[in-house]
Amino acid sequence: MEIQNKIALITGVSKGIGRATAIELIERGAVVVGWGRNRPDIEHANFHFFECDVRFPEQIDRALEQTVAAVGNQIRILVNNAGLGRAGAVDEQSIDEWKLMFDTNVHGMFFVTRKIVPLMKEIGEGHIVNIASIAGTNGIEMMSGYCGTKHAVRGMSHSWMKELRNDGIKVTAIYPGSTQTEFFVDIPGIDAHDHMMRPEDIAQSIAEVVHTHGNYLAVDLEIRPLKPKG
């Protein structure tokens, strides 16, 4: 799909991979709509921000109404990036933290996608990029809740890919390894460092996956730092 002049919707745009992806797609000529809890420091004529917490369907409905009023309903790119993680042992993690991860990473992704897919079906074209994680391919000690959500993202992505491909809609799951984002602020004992990947590199990969021939579909893309320990 040509990115130039296409409308792209990105969730979790406030920081990290979401913010970097917004900047990358804007630079490639897209009209970018960002949804998030806080506005990022992006000022550009082709960037529109609407406050939205994807855990709440009513906020998604409102943000979509605002989006359509601002740029129209021809949304061809959706990057489901909103997500978070909390560490905790299975017998110690709070129920509230567990629900927060699933409500954001899993239910929120479903809530957003179910509203955008009908618009893509009307166009007969679209690309949904779901940001999973290496944690969606294996288990990690003290991270069972987060791993569980990202395994769910993988299963949802594969199912949607088979369901929507004949409607001209691509679905790609991306599995980044350790990346320099604010994610680690809430993970005790781990701090972001220069041996992790840069959000800008993940954003470039997302743009390259979207900017492909119409009959080419990347289903899974695993991305890791070359030397994670330096």
Catalytic position from the list 98, 146, 160, 175: 146
Catalytic, 146? Answer: yes
Which pLDDT belongs to residue 179?
Answer: 83
Summarize the confidence of residues 31-60 as an average pLDDT.
Answer: 98
More reliable by pLDDT, 152 or 188: 152
Task: Give backbone dihedrals phi and psi of 44, rounded to 5 degrees, phi first.
Answer: -160, 145
Give the model confidence (pLDDT) of 178-222 as tens digits. Answer: 887 666 555 555 555 677 899 999 999 999 999 999 999 999 999
Q: CB-based contacts of 108: which residues, under 8 Å, 6+ apart?
A: 11, 53, 54, 55, 82
Q: Which amino acid is at 127?
A: H
| pTM (predicted TM-score) | 0.94
Give the model confidence (pLDDT) of 48-83 as tens digits. Answer: 999 999 999 999 999 999 999 999 999 999 999 999
CATH architecture, range 7-223:
3-Layer(aba) Sandwich (3.40)
